[in-house]
Structure formats: structure tokens, C-alpha cells
Amino acid sequence: MRLISLKIWRAFPELDQYDDAVCRLYIRHARRFNNTWKGALLVLLSLGLAVLVWIGVIYFGIDRVEEYTSSARGEKLTFGLFLMSLLLTGIIWFPLLVAFFVRDRWLRRCVMAQLRSTNCAGCGYQLVGLTIIEDQGCKHVVCPECGVSTALNTGHITESDINPELLNTA
């Protein structure tokens, strides 16, 4: 699992050879390939679920916290204030963390699907980053593992899928 502030493309060794700008374009391309509205819907549903959990925590947690904070004794009051601050921190951060977690899982799935779609049909070797060969007006990539030639721009694999740097020009 990666930290929220880190770049998601660093989780994929296939994209290590490209700089951050190209990887950002590739992530955008993968997101578009896998319908952005699905990711937005997942984030909204997770936020809705987080808000329901949030309401439940408030409803059931306030009674427990109030029991401690209404006491005049120092130990109980200190523990009650600590419990109240913990509850408020959880209430504030829980929906955000859930939304980030769901978004990152969805983006990871999008990039994995995009990378999987560029595997060799013969052996499953990853074709991203290989040299594109132009032969008689037809562009193709030759798999170094099994030697199968995969034609580009005729089926589901395009040049920009193999060489993400071409996304900059498209």
C-alpha cells in the first residue's frame, strides 16, 4: 500500500522509465479508458458510507464521551477530553481517508487493466516501452519473448499504449 501523497504510477515498474509528466498523461489515459464516471461513483458511494458510519459514531459515541466529560474528577475529565478529541479527529478524517483509499484502489485497477491490455497475445509479455517498428505503412511491435508481431492501431492496442510518450502529441 502506498501513501496518499505519493504518485500512483510509481507502483508500476513498467512506467519507471518515463518521467512524471508522461506518467500523469498515462494515468489520465487509463482513467479515460476505464470510464471516469465509475471511479467518481465509487468515491461518492464510499463517502456516503463513510457519512453513515460517521453518523453512527456520533450517535453512539457521544453518550460514552459525555459520561466522562461531565465528571468533575480530573482523571475522568482528562480521559473524556482525550476521547472527545479522538472522536472528533476520526469524524473529520474518516470520510476523507475512505475516499482516497477507494480512489487509489480504482486508479490502480484502471492502470492494471490498461497495462494488461498491452500484453503479448502469444505469451503475455508486457509490450509497454518496446520499440515500435514501421513496415510498409503498418506499425507493429515484436515480442522479445516469443517473437509474435502485434499490429498497432488496428485492434485494441494503439501506439500510445505501447509508448506513453506519444500521448503528449495526441
For the segment 50-82, what is each residue's pLDDT rounded down to a tens digit? 778 778 777 777 766 666 666 566 566 677 677
Nine cell digits for residue 17: 522509465
Domain count, the chain: 2
Q: What is the pLDDT of residue 74?
A: 56
Comparing 17-26, 54-63, 120-129, which segment has the lowest mean pLDDT? 54-63
34/106 same-domain check: yes
Mean pLDDT of all residues belonging to the chain: 76
* DSSP code of residue 143: -
Q: What is the pLDDT of residue 165?
A: 72
110/30 same-domain check: yes
140/107 same-domain check: no
104/125 same-domain check: no
Q: DSSP assignment of 87-104, as one string?
A: HHHHHHHHHHHHHHHHHH
Res. 1 pLDDT band, cuts 50 70 90: very low
What is the extent of the structural domain holding 167? 119-170
> 133: alpha, beta or left, given left = phi > 0 and alpha = psi -120 to 50?
beta
Residue 57: closest CA among 80, 90, 79: 90
Model pLDDT for residues 27-40, shown as the tens digit of each residue: 888 877 777 777 77
Res. 168 pLDDT band, cuts 50 70 90: low
pLDDT at 126 over 60: yes
- pTM of the model as a whole: 0.66
